[in-house]
């Protein structure tokens, strides 16, 4: 998903005022736990795109270690 698709999804579903939450599934020894937080930071970054062979802009959703 790219930034434009994310914006379109938010607009299409009237989610402009929605709370941003992130859920992580943590696996350990055959069991798992799903934890959710709204303590999310969004920043700009770059990632290397193998197909384009260059760095491209990226959006990072960062969650502190409270999920562990």
pLDDT, tens digit, for every residue of 49-60? 999 999 999 999
Query: Taking the model in full, what pTM does it have?
Result: 0.68
- Residues in contact with 48: Cβ distance below 8 Å, sequence separation at least 6, in sequence order: 54, 55, 56
Query: Which stretches of the chain score pLDDT less than 70?
Result: 66-68
For residue 29, what pLDDT is reported?
86
For residue 62, what pLDDT is reported?
86
CB 40, CB 21: distance < 8 Å: yes
């Amino acid at each position: 998903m790219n930034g434009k698709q994310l914006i379109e999804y938010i607009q299409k579903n009237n989610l402009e005022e929605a709370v941003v939450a992130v859920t992580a599934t943590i696996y350990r020894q055959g069991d798992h736990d799903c934890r959710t937080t709204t303590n999310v930071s969004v920043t700009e970054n770059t990632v290397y795109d193998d197909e384009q062979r260059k760095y491209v802009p990226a959006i990072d959703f960062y969650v502190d270690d409270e999920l562990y």
